[in-house]
Amino acid sequence: MSSSAISLSNINLVYSNKYILKNINIDIKKGDCVSILGHNGAGKTTLFKIINGLIKPTTGTIEILGNKLTAETKKQIGYIPQINKFENYIPINVKQVIEIGITARKGIFKKLSEQDNLLIENIAKKLDIYKLLNVPIGKLSGGEMQKVSIARVLAQQADIFLLDEPLSNLDVQSQKNITEIIENIHSEKKATILIVLHNFEQKPKCCNKEIVLEKGELCSNF
Amino acid sequence: MFEFLDFFNYSFFNRAIILSILAGISCGIIGVWVLLLNIPFIGVTIAHCAFAGAIIGLFLGINPILSGFIFCLLSALLINPMSKRIKSQNNITVSLLFSFSIAIAFVFAGLFKEHLTDLFTFFWGNLLISSMNDVVFNIIVTAILILFAISFHRGIIALFFNREISKSCGIPETFVFTIMLLLICSTISLNLKSIGGLLIYSLISLPAATAYKLTYNLKTMYLLSVLFAVSACVIGLFISTFFTIPVGATIILVSCFMFFISLFYKKV
């Protein structure tokens, strides 16, 4: 069985004759917590979108947990985009958002079981959002919304977490809470976590690897 | 009053009532989709492409509902590839298709020398000239629509929340979205004759927007949207019959009135 969680080989992404990502080779082991740093436009978010299949690279191969990227392997990836990308005007509540994680895992036709409801409740209690389960997402603060997104990925029972700037646009207290949650997930679930960060100082303690991107190229990978 | 109630003795009026209820149900549901998928401009454009297709079909002697559906579907499927081709946001493609569809509809309309009544029916609709076939097709499409909305409910919620997230975690986002587009196109095409090509989009957008103004709950939004659309259709039909004014336009005016009333209520 492969010890590699994410393996990218010779990834190039060319758009309008310009390299967005150039010759990316990364091997992330299971249980690694990796911070991804770089300036605006360095290719951090694009790298995430290549890992989860939202963007097809011009060349190169992607392997997730030793397998090719398919709809089935995608279930192992929990993706949290930047907070301002959420459609919080949609009339759905916190529970319905967390249920999306279960939909991803079980498929769109399977009904929620008693066990699934229990899982949602437990996750919500753990992340301190139990009282918010019936609250519409349009009424949540940035920090609460970020917790709900993490709850969605926990309900998905994903092995790999892709967190795109999870601390951006949050107040200091919320940043601290979210960082603690990330550290707990890493220690308790032994999950593989990739975090895009703007600020090096925000790096959670559990990060054991660092990737620095500059203008689409890997500056350091250690 | 007695004379007004006499209308119920005529089969064409009873068919019109059934059709207005069906149109209300289907437009109420797809209105929620168009609003929550945040594709209002795509919605309005494919509605006008359907209108252009129907006018061309009428001119060429092809079934206008079928030609309307084909145009509607083609436009819906063309928007994304065209945007990629011209390297722009969807907005430019949508504006282009909208202008093209309106222009081509009016060019073909200008070529009509006879059957002008049929032509104008597709402009502002007439529920009162519907046939039994219209009713049967509407029942079938509305039933499929309801069945899809219920059985794909969890997938649809995921798409509403974020299409990118849905795709990234293996939810069949493209499949669900394509079926939604197909059903939106079918509903628009089938209601072209009864509501009118220039007005159908208003019946899709206004009741859903009114419902959205009133609730934070998705199920309630569906129910309110259908309720407002059905009420607008039935009330519009009665008012237009009573005052002998165009039925499609009256339905839209009733929808507008409902929306303005909703502005005075607080969302719960």
- Identify the residue among A108, A120, A148, A163 best suited for mutation to test binding to B, counting B beta carbons within 10 A and taking the highest: A108
Q: Tell me if chain A has a CB within 8 Å of the CB of B88.
A: no
DSSP secondary structure, A73-138, as one string? HHTTEEEE--GGGS-TTSS-BHHHHHHHHHHHHH-SSSPPPHHHHHHHHHHHHHTT-GGGTTSBGG
Size of interface A-B (CB pairs under 8 A): 93
In this predicted structure, the answer to whether residue B128 has a pLDDT above a threshold of 70 is: yes
What is the pLDDT confidence band of residue A169, given thresholds at 50, 70 and 90? confident
CB contact under 8 A, A54 and B164: yes
In this predicted structure, the answer to whether residue A222 has a pLDDT above a threshold of 60 is: no
Provide mean pLDDT across the span A178-205. 87
- Identify the residue among A46, A50, A103 best suited for mutation to test binding to B, counting B beta carbons within 10 A and taking the highest: A103
**Model pLDDT, residue A86:** 61
**Model pLDDT, residue A221:** 60
Q: Is the dihedral of CA A131, A135, A141, A142 positive or negative?
A: positive
Closest residue, chain A, to B33 (C-alpha): A90
The number of helix segments (H) and strand segments (E) in chain A equals 6, 10
pLDDT digits (tens, 9 = 90+) for B93-107: 888 888 999 999 989
Q: Which residue has the tokens 């019959």?
A: B241
**Model pLDDT, residue B194:** 85
CB contact under 8 A, A108 and B176: yes
**Model pLDDT, residue B199:** 83
CATH superfamily of B2-263: ABC transporter involved in vitamin B12 uptake, BtuC (1.10.3470.10)
Provide mean pLDDT across the span A150-158. 93
CB contact under 8 A, B154 and A77: no
**Hey, which residues 38-67 in chain B have their CB within 8 Å of chain A?**
38
The number of helix segments (H) and strand segments (E) in chain B equals 14, 0
What is the pLDDT confidence band of residue B89, given thresholds at 50, 70 and 90? low
- Chain B residues closer than 8 Å to A97 by CB: 161
CB contact under 8 A, B162 and A85: yes
Percent above pLDDT 90 for chain A? 53
Asked if residues A58 and A218 have their Cβ atoms less than 8 Å apart, the reply is no
**Model pLDDT, residue B191:** 87
Angstrom distance (rounded) from CA B230 to CA B206:
12
**Residues in chain A whose Cβ is within 8 Å of chain B:** 16, 49, 52-54, 71-75, 77-79, 81, 85-87, 90-93, 96-97, 99-101, 103-104, 108-109, 136, 138-139, 156, 158
For residue A142, count other CB atoms closer than 10 A to its CB.
17
ipTM: 0.88
Asked if residues B138 and B23 have their Cβ atoms less than 8 Å apart, the reply is yes
What is the pLDDT confidence band of residue B213, given thresholds at 50, 70 and 90? very high
For residue A101, count other CB atoms closer than 10 A to its CB.
28
pTM metric for this prediction: 0.88
In this predicted structure, the answer to whether residue B87 has a pLDDT above a threshold of 80 is: no
- Chain B residues closer than 8 Å to A69 by CB: none
Query: Two tokens at A1?
Result: 């069985």
**Mean pLDDT, all residues of chain B:** 88
Q: Which residue has the tokens 């197909």?
A: B182
Q: Among partner residues B152, B164, B220, which is closest to A108 by beta-carbon distance?
A: B152
Q: In chain B, where are the structural domains located?
A: 2-263
Q: Report CA-CA distances (Å) from B49 to B69, B71, B105.
A: 9, 6, 8
**On the CB side of A59, how many CA atoms lie within 13 Å of its CA?**
8
**Model pLDDT, residue A84:** 61
